[in-house]
Amino acid sequence: MKKILFAASESVPFIKTGGLADVVGSLPKYFDKDKYDVRVMLPKYMCMKEEWKEKLQYYTHFYMDLNWRKQYVGVLIYEHEGITFYFIDNEYYFNGFAPYGDMYADIEKFAFFSKAVLSALPVIDFRPDIIHCHDWQTGLIPIYLDNFRFGTEYYRGIKTIMTIHNLKFQGTWDTKRVRDITGLPQYYFVPDKLEAYKDANYLKGGIVYADKVTTVSNSYAEEIKMPFYGEKLDGLMNAKANCLSGIVNGIDYKEYDPATDQHIEKNFDIDNFRKEKIKNKLALQRELNLTQDSHTMMIGIVSRLTDQKGFDLVAYVMDELCQDAVQIVVLGTGEEQYENMFRHFEWKYQGKVSANIYYSEPLSHRIYASCDAFLMPSLFEPCGLSQLMSLRYGTLPIVRETGGLKDTVEPYNEFEKTGTGFSFTNYNAHEMLATVRYAERIYYDRKRDWNKMVERAMAQDFSWGNSAKQYEALYESM
Ligand code: ADP
Ligand code: GLC
């Protein structure tokens, strides 16, 4: 039995700001239970929902040095859907209103978390063969592990994987301060280890010291070797090419299932969507005060509202797009300029545009289920889960051909009658608009072809099965 420990800063159902949480919370359930004991370690945030916090059970506590600081480390435990979750407790670090806040504070918070993860292992009596680290928040784990090996036998032989969910966020701060926080020796603070461009860089350190590096799609694994996507680490990604691979994300097919989803008006499946899916559209139009019309093409957006997701393209052509016979439903939070942009267009095109600037899991399900198309024109996209959710609900993705979007959405070919969505190549607002309008034409003028495409989309398999096998193969190779 191989023991694997996931270390991450978020996971469903406990705490989520984006796709990372979906991956960390669902992937562990899909490993072969006879061969792998996969557990997860997370921070215990004060901002977690009460319903979850009250379920966690005290396991143990100890004190840990973080350079000159001495910090309390509580460990809580909870088993959810067959997976053991551990939570690292410290009220000083994890008391914010959101998992992340000021970078200055986060840098110390996740140094604490990373060291605490390793320090807790002997105490909880779970010595993993592999620690699977996710994103910059856990980048220091492979470094601390290297450092710990000098001290005690216990840590020798533990292997690490660093999975990059988003190369843009690296966790960088002034070297001197990071030295003071971490207590790590000067030895690590050089450009071929933890340092990048004069600053300490957690993700880079993790990548350098991990035994294997993965990212969440094949295309993104290739893209980040190039300057445009490499976030100034393309040189490193090239150097690490021999241990870097891409494994595409899946989604939880039980959680996102139009046939059983409790959040949506009317359940449907691949056989009856032609009749049943529009009932969801009508219900959503009612709920959001949009013009009631089952015929109108409805385009959905569920997203963090940031530059990464291509909203400057949307802003640029929104007026033009709103001249068409479409309705646009947005759910998201993020940069103020985009929040206000969508609020503005809701005001300007009443009955046509609905801007929901907040976070809501139930509404997100209703959007995936109710819309005809889903717009995701990302500037870059390591994998993307929203387009997978859309496919599952027969909502055809309109995407830019980048990263995981390119790997998971097959563009419609009207001659061969293949494809599961629509895509465009260049990061250009009018290229995007032309693609949306092409989709409108198919939707309005060739309904049979459209419905065939919905059928193909719903028949796709992006459950975790396949990808979990690839992670298993990776674990075996180590
Ligand atoms: P990223 O991780 O870059 O934000 P992904 O597509 O991988 O993008 O994952 C986004 C996840 O967050 C999806 O599960 C999506 O449904 C969810 N999500 C994003 N914004 C919201 C919101 N405002 N309300 C509910 N869910 C949201
Ligand atoms: C990141 C990426 C997104 C990916 C998610 C889960 O947030 O932006 O593309 O799907 O991580 O891996």
pLDDT tens-digit readout, 27-58 = 999 999 999 999 999 999 999 999 999 999 99
Could you tell me if 185 and 230 are in contact, meaning their C-beta atoms sit under 8 angstroms apart? no
pLDDT exceeds 90 at position 149: no
Predicted local confidence at residue 387, as pLDDT: 98
Residue of minimum CA distance from atom 7 in ligand 2: 19
Residue of minimum CA distance from atom 11 in ligand 2: 165
Q: Which of 136, 165, 249 to mutate to test the pocket of ligand 2 (most atoms within 8 A of CB)?
A: 165
**Which ligand 2 atom sits closest to the C-alpha of 165?**
11
Q: Are strands 422-424 and 396-400 parallel, antiparallel or unpaired?
A: parallel
Mean pLDDT of the chain, nearest integer: 97
Identify the residue whose tokens are 């109710």.
370
Q: Which of 23, 27, 302 to mutate to test the pocket of ligand 1 (most atoms within 8 A of CB)?
A: 302
pLDDT class of 438 with cuts at 50, 70, 90: very high
pLDDT in tens, 307-349: 999 999 999 999 999 999 999 999 999 999 999 999 999 999 9
Mean pLDDT of 466-477: 97
Residue of minimum CA distance from atom 24 in ligand 1: 359
pLDDT class of 60 with cuts at 50, 70, 90: very high
CA dist., res. 288 & res. 298, Å (int): 12
CA dist., res. 67 & res. 76, Å (int): 24
Predicted local confidence at residue 477, as pLDDT: 97
Q: Which of 169, 364, 379 to mutate to test the pocket of ligand 1 (most atoms within 8 A of CB)?
A: 364
pLDDT exceeds 90 at position 471: yes
Which residue ranges have their beta carbon within 6 Å of ligand 2?
18-20, 23, 165-166, 216, 249, 381-385, 404
Mean pLDDT of 131-144: 98
Predicted local confidence at residue 152, as pLDDT: 86
Could you tell me if 178 and 107 are in contact, meaning their C-beta atoms sit under 8 angstroms apart? yes
Predicted local confidence at residue 204, as pLDDT: 98
Residues contacting residue 333 through CB under 8 Å, at least 6 positions apart:
304, 305, 339, 357, 358, 359
pLDDT class of 436 with cuts at 50, 70, 90: very high
